[in-house]
Structure 1
């Protein structure tokens, strides 16, 4: 969809020209004055509604996110957040506060990681929840490309994952989904669900995206037990399967390394 058409459908008008912004591998993203318009060709049904729900869920839990001004199956109109200086200590404070929250159970609505659909799930033990909701769908989708690693992945989740309690998660917390604004850090493009914080910590460790200044501040606010540290490669396996699915067998090496570290 033409982003100008989506903005008109929202009943909004930009006095400024449309400027493309970085939008990852899924959406085309444009700034138009005070608005950000996201559109995607052939987006799976429910993709943008799931993103809007995730942003609302994080906002309700005290996380700075861009406000959703208009939602359609074809895209989103968001408020533009002006960029500001990096403040890793403030990001650590915001995420530690989010991860310290306790929900009454593990739960996830049907959603997406990228454009890959993930099922809804509610309750039960954490290891089974994480495997069935997050790992198994990607494992089934990539089994024929894993060069025999599939059974090794399955075996990882026969041992229980450590638990600290159900916490709200961003769900896809790589460096590109953090925006430092003039008001402080904000999070973008969530794959929100309620699980164990190790999921977010593992993605933040993958590919070395967050600097030591962040980790020093985060650990001071919310120390990470040794058993959670040891479990991070098992959470990273999920995201590496996603990379195999989206980007190919070049990620089998990192996948094998995560399996071996588990």
Structure 2
């Protein structure tokens, strides 16, 4: 299906030609006037609905996200956010406020990290929750490519992770999922669940990370305890495992560094 056909199916009027946008490794993304249309040649069941649900969860908790106009198994139609100036300090304040929220319990609906499906899980001890919901499925998927690192990953989660309390998470918060819109900072492509904020903080430090002015503003609003800071490499293992799964052994060195730093 092409983006104009999807807009017609959604009952929305195309307001111009379909212009390709950068869309990562899972979807083809187009701007069509006031809309952004996301499609996949072979969509994973539930992928677009999980993204729409995650965007709704972020919006309900006060973060700026694109409006969801329509979602189906074939694709997703979002509102287009006009680009604006970078505002790292504003983003820091938004995320600090978001991470300060306390939810009733650790909880995750069936969802995805990129194209990797993750199971539903509710409640329990944080270390067990994070290992069973996030790490173990990826560990099983990548075990044969880890060149002996699998048992070392398992050992990381035999000691408890620090727990400040259940907080909402974007879940895949790298630089590419930040969009500075005209109205202010916005977030894209969540892998939403309720966990510990260290999960988001860990991804925000990978692959180039966020700039110093962001971290200075974030810590001024919501300081990071040393025990949380020390746990960040263990959370990074989660994201590095999915990169091994998707892109291969080139990420084993980074995985080993995260294990060694834990």
Common fold by TM > 0.5: yes
- Which residue of structure 2 lines up, in the alignment, with residue 192 of structure 1? 192
Moved more, 36-45 or 252-261: 36-45
8 Å CA contact retained: 1:92, 1:214: yes
Q: Distance between the aligned counterparts of 1:74 and 1:14, measured in 2? A: 17
For 1:244 and 1:193, locate their aligned partners in 2 and report how far apart those are by CA, in whole Å. 22
**Structure 1: gaps of 5 or more residues:** none
Given the alignment of the two structures, is residue 33 of structure 1 paired with residue 29 of structure 2, yes or no? no
CA distance in 2, matches of 1:113, 1:95: 20
**Over aligned residues, Cα RMSD in angstroms?**
0.5
Count of paired positions = 262
Q: CA deviation at 1:143?
A: 0.2
Structure 2 gap segments, 5+ residues each? none
Q: TM-score, normalised by structure 2?
A: 0.99
Deviations 1:169-195 (A, max 9, x none): 000000000000000000000000000
Task: Please name the residue that 2:162 is paired with.
Answer: 162
Moved over 6 A (4+): none
Q: Paired residue for 2:98?
A: 98
Q: CA deviation at 1:76?
A: 0.5
Distance 2:112 2:26 in 1: 12
Quote how far apart the aligned CAs of 1:15 are. 2.5
Matches within 5 A, 1:212-231: 212-231=212-231
Q: Which residue of 2 aligns with 1:119?
A: 119
- Give 1:21 deviation, angstroms: 0.5
- Who is 1:150 aligned against? 150
CA distance in 1 between counterparts of 2:98 and 2:120 reads 21
Q: Is the 8 A contact 2:15 2:34 kept in 1?
A: no
Quote the offset at 1:235 in angstroms: 0.1
The superposition leaves residues 65-93 of structure 1 with CA deviations (integer Å, 9 ceiling, x where unpaired) of 00100111010010000000000000001
Equivalent position of 1:258 in the other structure: 258
| Residue number in structure 2 paired with 1:56 | 56
Mapped to 2, the partners of 1:186 and 1:75 lie a distance apart of 21
